[in-house]
Amino acid sequence: MRKMRKVILSEKEMPTQWYNIQADMPNPMQPPLHPVTRQPVGPDDLAPLFPMELIMQEVSQERYIDIPEEVQDIYKIWRPSPLIRAINFEKALDAPVKIYYKNESVSPAGSHKPNTAVPQAYYNYKEGVKKLTTETGAGQWGSALAFACGFFGIELQVFMVKVSFDQKPYRKSMMNTWNANVVASPSNLTQAGKKILSEHPDSPGSLGIAISEAIEAAVSDPGTKYSLGSVLNHVLLHQTIIGQEALKQFEIAEDYPDVVIGCFGGGSNFAGISFPFVRENLTNGKSARIVAVEPKSCPKLTRGKFTYDFGDTVGMTPLIPMFTLGHNFMPPKIHAGGLRYHGAGPIVSQLLKDKLIEASAVPQKECFEAGVKFARSEGIIPAPETTHAIAQVIREAEQAKREGKSKTILFNLSGHGLVDMAAYDQYFAGGLEDFSISQEEIEASVRSLEVVPA
């Protein structure tokens, strides 16, 4: 019999609710703390940044949250996304594994990011917000939010990490086409940016810095709010449609994964594919391994410290309980700009602490090697971020081969790499580095963190 190649759901089968893992976590998270008072943050503290609906989602304990019809209508431009069996990649690996992937690269912005960009733009629109600010690393998030703001007539200012701004000019063009304004961060538009530029004129920027700038730009203008593409609970919530769809699709395929893999920056695509499977582990007797894959050069999950830290470099966000390398940690200039972030979202951090998920770290060259192998067998050129998940898939396949045990693997193809081709050029030219981070560096960076009463 011929192998199934993929499972597509119809528009009517698209989930109409997001899954909120907070309802099922065995240990609650510690609360975020106000950056000045060090008291637990309340909804009012966040009101200058986010619309109330998103703040309520941030702390909600409801297991399922309805997806507004207006958001569903936009999702349906590309969702449900296909679950694809990587038949040719399996052949190329020659291991006793079945490999499936959710293809989130079919969104108009080319990644999973619109899953949260659209509801964020929508809730802001509903609250009358006319302008948003945000940061972006490689540009996937900025592109997605520019795309989303277009539907609701919201103006957008994007602070794009300078190294990516220079490496990926097409990302800026995409955002412009969707009507957003983009500057390289650190920029002269904010005090935070000016201060960093005065001290480090050649700063390549980082997500932490760009977040500081975007927050400052939002709070200093009453009609403007801020939007974040990862880390926070409501962002991860919106991404769970990926895993919710995948569960339905596995049911149709009459299969189930032994391991679920996502690359890891702040947690959004990883959470999206995996949280519904964590729920199945917690509440439904399943036992899939859940693996978050980070760059070896930005190893907060595998080598960071679990403590309170700021989400940004300057220290404007609430203090968040998380695995972190310290908010001053400057990740090396790897091409996976979306993974160049010092900390892990609080839910993911708690799940890792509770050993409900695993973490793995892979070096840059291994990732691109995996990406090229995937492109040449399966046909899709993955984003540099996504190659981290694929590198882990190959490790899992090799382990299965060594142990002679068969295994079913699911990973999230979080985005395509068509706007990141300069990274592939550099890989083929032998110009990619495997940056290593010394234990001293991490300890120095983490030591600087204040101990905050929990």
The residues of the shown chain that bind a copy of itself, judged by CB under 8 A, are 2-11, 69, 73-74, 76-78, 80, 82, 84, 87-88, 106, 108-110, 114, 147, 150-151, 169-170, 173-174, 176-179, 372, 375-381, 416, 418-419, 421-422, 424-425, 428
Distance CA 305, CA 308 (A): 9
Nearer to a copy of itself, 303 or 388 (CB): 388
- Closest separation between CB of residue 81 and a copy of itself, Å? 10
The secondary structure of residue 382, as a DSSP letter, is: B
- Report, in Å, the least distance between residue 345 CB and a copy of itself: 26
Min separation Cβ 106 and a copy of itself, Å: 5
* Shortest distance, position 142 Cβ to a copy of itself, whole Å: 14
DSSP codes of every residue in 361-396: EE-HHHHHHHHHHHHHHH---B-HHHHHHHHHHHHH
> Is residue 46 classed as helix, strand or coil in its secondary structure?
helix
Half-sphere exposure of 417 (CA within 13 A, CB side): 27
Strands 289-295 and 358-362: parallel
CB of residue 131 vs a copy of itself: minimum separation in angstroms?
16
At which residue do the structure tokens 């052949």 appear? 91
Of residues 43 and 379, the one with the C-beta less far from a copy of itself: 379
Examine residue 186 and say whether the peptide bond preceding it is cis (omega within 30 degrees of 0).
yes
The two tokens of residue 32 are 């975020």
Q: How far is the CB of 10 from a copy of itself (least distance, A)?
A: 6
User: Considering beta carbons, is residue 296 or 416 the nearer one to a copy of itself?
Assistant: 416
Q: Treating both helix axes as pointing N-terminal to C-terminal, what angle do 268-283 and 346-353 enclose, rounded to 10 degrees?
A: 40
Would you say 179 or 302 has its CB closer to a copy of itself? 179
CB 270 within 8 A of CB 311: no
Residue 419 has what DSSP assignment? T
Choose between 80 and 186: whose C-beta lies nearer to a copy of itself: 80
CA distance 61 to 233: 11
Q: How far, in Å, are 96, 109, 176, 229, 418 from residue 170 at the CA level?
A: 40, 12, 10, 19, 10
Q: Which is nearer to a copy of itself, 13 or 62 (CB)?
A: 13
| Phi and psi angles of residue 205, each rounded to the nearest 5 degrees, phi first | 80, 170
Those residues whose C-beta lies under 8 Å from the C-beta of residue 220, and which sit 6 or more positions away, are none
Min CB(173)–a copy of itself separation in Å: 4
Based on CB atoms, which residue is closest to a copy of itself, 138 or 278?
138
* Residue 250 Cβ vs a copy of itself, minimum distance, rounded to whole Å: 15
Judged by beta carbon, residue 17 or residue 173, the one nearer a copy of itself is 173
